[in-house]
Amino acid sequence: MNENLHERAQRLLAESIVEGLRPADETWLREHLAECPGCAREAAAAQNVLQALRTVPVNVPRDLAARTQLRVRLRAQESSTAASGSFWLWVVTAASWLLGVFSAPLVWRGFAWLGANFGVPKLALEFGFVLWWTVPPLLAAAIILHQKALTAEWGNKI
């Protein structure tokens, strides 16, 4: 038996493991292994390695699945709360914007009345009018930032 036959057997052995063999090659390999103890030993060793790979028994940390399930449930809850929270935030923001636009003439008149009756300087009135517009979005931004901080803190605790 020459060297080429053993090389072919090794090649077919690897092929049989990786992608399977055509029936003719399979028959040839089987016959060769029956006659060649060296190649048969190689084939048996390869099968042992494959068997060990197939049954790699790793001990999963006991509570890993439970911890993961809890974390996934919390995240699901958190995102649905955040989604509904941001929906209401949008509603409130839109309502406050509309109110702001439609009430602007009244507010301006109110500030003018304050100026006329209490002698408030014009600069203070203008500053008050600007605050009337900027306080609601600043409050909304503060609420969003606070919610995000709480969420991050909660996520770190899990």
Partner 1 sequence: MTDDTQALAIGLRRRDPDLLDRLIEQYQQRLYRYLLFLTGNPALAEDLFQETWIRVLERGAQYNGKSKFESWLFAIARNLVIDASRRKKISSLEDLGDPESNTPYDPPDERATSVLQMLVSRENEQSVQLSLLKIPPYYREVLLLRFSEELGLEEIAAVMATPISTVKSRLYRGLAALKTAMTEGVA
**Site for partner 1, rule CB under 8 A:** 14, 17-19, 46, 49-50, 52-61, 64-65, 67-69, 71-73, 75-76, 79
Q: Shortest Cβ distance from residue 4 to partner 1 (Å)?
A: 19
Q: Which amino acid is at 75?
A: R
> Quick one: 2 or 51, whose CB is closer to partner 1?
51
Question: Which class for 132: exposed (0-12), middle (13-18), buried (19 or more C-beta within 10 A)?
Answer: middle
Q: Min. distance of Cβ 158 from partner 1 in angstroms? A: 9
Calculate the CA 66 to chain-centre distance. Answer: 19
Cβ proximity to partner 1: between 24 and 56 the closer is: 56
Q: Please state the closest distance from residue 120 (CB atom) to partner 1, in A.
A: 53
Q: How far apart are CA 79 and CA 97, in angstroms?
A: 26
CA 70, CA 26: separation in Å to the nearest integer? 51
Contacts of residue 64, defined as CB under 8 A and 6 or more positions apart, other chains included, come to none
Q: CB-wise, 11 or 146, nearer to partner 1?
A: 11
Q: Supply the minimum distance, in Å, between the C-beta of residue 147 and partner 1.
A: 18
Between 68 and 103, whose beta carbon lies closer to partner 1? 68
Q: Which two tokens stand for residue 80?
A: 């649905």
Instruction: Tell the smallest beta-carbon distance from residue 31 to partner 1 (Å).
Output: 23
Q: How far apart are CA 28 and CA 10, in angstroms?
A: 12
For partner 1, the closer CB: 45 or 124: 45
What angle (nearest 5°) sits at the alpha carbon of residue 69, between those of residues 66 and 70?
85
